[in-house]
Amino acid sequence: MSAAHWRSGSRSTNYPIVNDRPGPTRILHENAPKLAYGIDSVGGMNRFDSDTLDFAHSAERRIIHVDMDAFYAAVEQRDAVELRGRPVIVGGAPHRRGVVAAASYEAREFGVHSAMPTAAAVRLCPGAIRIAPRFAHYATVSQQIRSIFGRYTPIVEPLSLDEAFLDVSASQRLWGDAINIAQRIKNDIVRELGLVASVGIATNKFVAKIASDIDKPDGFVEVEMDKITEFLNPLPVTRIWGIGKVAAKRLADLGIITVHDLKRIPNERLIAAFGASGHHWLQLARGIDSREVVADHAVKSLSHEVTFAEDLDNDDELRATLTSLVENAAARLRAAELRASTVQLKIRHYDFTTRSRSRSFAAPTRSTAKFLSTAVGLLTTYRQQYRGAVRLVGVGLSGCGGAPTQSDLFTESVALDTVTDSINQRFGDRTLRRAAGLNNKS
């Protein structure tokens, strides 16, 4: 985006000590200047206040999107002082077709980004420190962040472990305007957890999410309703949800590069070329998004999978891998204070044929032993029917809910899981593992 459309305020480097460790150097303070769109100073913020448009939502609606900066990597850097200021890659091993789950901003300077193969990331940044993901630990930290959200509004819609929408429209009567609430949330997160979040404030979810991403890291952007058009127009069309590389290429062939370009195309032409998606994209390009923030957006499933460096045809090694996957998924489930009623097995063969099998319980559980015995049973039955080398194996836990059963509370296996989770969260996910999973090197 051109600098003519926005400016960034300076940030304080006067940061507090968090848990005897220095906090991030870029911290949002109550009176620090923030980034916003417009020219008139109002309440310490620069915001737009003209060019009123006819939108399908109220100007009084205030949505905050909070997005943690490089979340997994930031947690690792917070927890280990020797990692601070160094390039950190959280992801699978490069020799096992591992994928980057998160990269610190030091690693991103070398072109490393999430979802890229770990091997490629290591080539770009040979000096990076690779750390195996600790998903159960990240889930615990995520719960701590959500408890902070809950102080300011009950209307919180988590999208993942590291981001959420908050509707603070009614909360403004108690806490002041959305700007003040967002400042408080950022300050609480950094002071209590030693982590940094970027926030976007707008009258709808679509614009708020873009706003939180436009000035990362440690971003703070508010877009008033009457300046949504000016905010969106210069952005590339790939900023619109649902427009990926393939759609962007087709749009480029039509001369559509920016959001402004898209808005100049008649609705009928977009529908003819892209179906209902074309109409949806046009609505978003116009800044129209009437979706509500859905409170208590429940997690329906958790899954883990691994792609082997070399296709695998050994049942013992498959079971070892499956054991590790079940342990990781079950630990995340318990960290989120959930139980699951269905176990799903996913197998992809050397020829990319993919099949899945599932089995459900009479009542939800959080027992690793129960999940594992079910998953191994599914694998055994599957391998009796289908042989051949396996490229990928995955396990999913679904039908998630939060209410424990009496038997669940007092079983020996769940007590063991609780102790195991505690040790692994402190010392790393691989500290305590079942013997059946020791052959797994992913």
User: What's the pLDDT tens digit per position in 144-180?
Assistant: 999 999 999 999 988 888 999 999 999 998 999 999 9
Q: How many CA atoms lie within 13 A of 294 on its CB side?
A: 7
Q: Strands 197-202, 63-68: parallel, antiparallel or unpaired by DSSP?
A: antiparallel
> Whole-angstrom Cα distance, residue 325 to residue 399?
18
> Whole-angstrom Cα distance, residue 59 to residue 81?
45
Give residue for tokens 């054991």: 323
> Whole-angstrom Cα distance, residue 98 to residue 112?
14
Q: What single DSSP character describes residue 205?
A: H
- Tell me the CA end-to-end span of the chain in Å, nearest whole number: 41
- Could you please report the per-residue DSSP string of 275-320? THHHHHHHHHHTT---PPP-TT----EEEEEEEEEEEE--HHHHHH
> Whole-angstrom Cα distance, residue 257 to residue 248?
8
Residue 308 near residue 391, CB atoms below 8 Å: yes
Q: Is 76 a catalytic residue?
A: no
Q: Strands 340-349, 390-398: parallel, antiparallel or unpaired by DSSP?
A: antiparallel
Residue 414: the pLDDT is 53
Q: Which residues of the chain have pLDDT under 70?
A: 1-59, 96-97, 296-299, 309, 402-442
Question: Which domains are assigned to the chain?
Answer: 13-232 (3.30.70.270), 233-285 (1.10.150.20), 301-437 (3.30.1490.100)
Amino acid (one-letter) located at 219: G
**Residue 133 CB partners (closer than 8 Å, separation 6+):** 72, 90, 91, 92, 101, 429
Q: 388: helix, coil or strand? A: coil
Residue 309: the pLDDT is 65
Residue 297 near residue 157, CB atoms below 8 Å: yes
Q: Which secondary structure element, helix H or strand E, spans residue 241, and what is its range?
A: none
Residue 366 burial (10 A CB sphere; 0-12, 13-18, 19+): buried
Kindly report the backbone phi and psi dihedral angles of residue 342, in degrees, each rounded to the nearest multiple of 5, phi listed first.
Answer: -140, 135
Burial 253-273 (b: 16+ CB within 10 A, else e): eeebebbbbbbebeeeebeee
> Whole-angstrom Cα distance, residue 414 to residue 408?
7
Q: Which secondary structure element, helix H or strand E, spans residue 422, and what is its range?
A: helix 412-427
Among residues 76, 106, 157, 163, which one is catalytic?
163
Residue 121: the pLDDT is 94
Kindly report the backbone phi and psi dihedral angles of residue 406, in degrees, each rounded to the nearest multiple of 5, phi listed first.
Answer: -60, -45
Residue 243: the pLDDT is 87
Residue 117: the pLDDT is 86
